[in-house]
Amino acid sequence: MHALPAIAIFDIGRTNKKQVLFDAQYRVLEEKNIQLPETTDEDGFPSEDLQLLATWVRESFAALKQRKDLELKAVNVSAYGASFVHLSPELRPLTPLYNYLKPFPAFLQEEFDRKYNNDGQLGMQTASPQLGHLNSGMQLYWLKKQSPEIYRQIRYSLHLPQWLSFLLSGVCASELTSIGCHTRLWDFEKQDYHKWVIEEGLKEKFPIILPGANVIERKDGIMAGVGLHDSSSALIPYLSVFNDPFVLLSTGTWSVSLNPFNHSSLTDQELKQDCLCYLSLKGEPIKASRLYAGKEHELFTKKLADQFQCAEDYFLRLKVDSFLVEKWFQSKDPGIAAAFADPDKLSSYEEAYHVFMINLVRQQKKAINLVLEPGGIEQIFVDGGFSKNPFFMNLLALSFPEKKIFAASLAHASALGAALCIHSSWNTGAIPAGLLSPVQIS
């Protein structure tokens, strides 16, 4: 049997963990999904189970290496950000993976702001609003102040994508797409760690920064990437194929609007509206805005399922009702505000879901507008879960009648980005021209 050259990508989300195999033409050979049970940290707050995750990654990778039908050439990781794995001198996790939704102590934030953000400029310098533990740099500050004994034992603090890469390569590294993921660690103007990071001694906890396209050759000859932040990774396929400016709306738990063609500095007003910048593979700023849309949708459909005694995925059976869209989407009646605030109070599942989605897409439009520059952008690509939701896509097209809205047929944008990122290290062929075939929504 002829062994097929392939690359394996571990695409790690908060809920779903995927192992995706691509051939040399970047066709999906195989996909495996798993949901791992969470554990809790010392305060009882939900936390990713690092031991379970590490075991799954290692065992999955070992099984791939044993297959006779594959010639495994390379492996890489895309994973969610804002999460540190703190390693001991023996390079074992010292702490739980602290959940970025864990409440941040107000007194500690006030202490930090008095010392480092007295002029209110830190957000613009680091291109990140104040987000508590979602600013992963603040996780380290919190650990240093609250658990100094543990902090002193830390040899390296690795963002989650780089820790997973370490499991596969044995090399500890930092990487820009993770450092630039609303961490408050990076000074976007100076293109280096921010002054407060140096003054607090945090920089010594970070290993060398390696380029995202860097690979480490394992003893078995397999090339291992250093890992990428998933939102930045999802941009790579689009930038590889399309030359005209676009916005990518990457949807999942968070809906992240990314404009890699908008390099303007963040304003104070944008920061207050949850706008930020990511870093690209090359260290360039990518203006972005976030909306907790996927989680809101999940919670609302569970609420409706309980209320109307139906399946949680009942919305998948619904069709867009043009009459209801006209009634709610186009209405100027101020009296409908109450229904938008509490759509579950409506008498039918269908109408409640329509109203919820109209309200959600209105919020999404505002978030997208935050990253749009006047003129220049005519295309919006939507990938992830909402790209398959006809309510979301049709309402988005109604919201932006002057733009072309595309549902990306790319099922694994972040995984594919992590594969393309190290293309030249394992693949002797050219990147296929027909890699993407998005469908325009009329």
Per-residue tokens: 30: 């195989």
What's the mean pLDDT in 130-134?
93
pLDDT range class, residue 376, cuts 50, 70, 90:
confident
Per-residue tokens: 426: 């394992």
Mean pLDDT: which of 34-48, 259-273, 317-331, 346-360 is highest? Answer: 34-48
Structure-model confidence comparison of residues 341 and 369, the more confident one: 369
Give, in degrees to the nearest 5, the angle at Cα 293 between 289 and 299: 155
Its pTM stands at 0.86
Measured distance CA(427)–CA(268) in Å, rounded: 44
What's the mean pLDDT in 62-70?
96
Measured distance CA(162)–CA(81) in Å, rounded: 10
Q: How far is CA 94 from the centre of its chain?
A: 25
pLDDT (tens digit, 9 = 90+) per residue, 263-286? 888 888 888 888 999 998 888 899
Per-residue tokens: 220: 């078995």
Mean pLDDT of the chain: 92
pLDDT (tens digit, 9 = 90+) per residue, 348-363? 999 899 989 999 999 9
Going from N- to C-terminal start, the domains of the chain cover: 4-229
Contacts of 56 (CB under 8 A, 6+ apart): 17, 34, 36
Per-residue tokens: 37: 């049970």
Architecture of domain 4-229: 2-Layer Sandwich (3.30)
CA-nearest of 301, 358, 300 to 324 is: 358
Per-residue tokens: 219: 């003893």
pLDDT range class, residue 331, cuts 50, 70, 90:
low
Cβ-count burial 253-268 (b if 16+ within 10 Å, e if not): bbbbbbbbbbeeebee
pLDDT (tens digit, 9 = 90+) per residue, 144-183? 999 999 999 999 999 999 999 999 999 999 999 999 999 9
pLDDT value at 335 more than 60: no
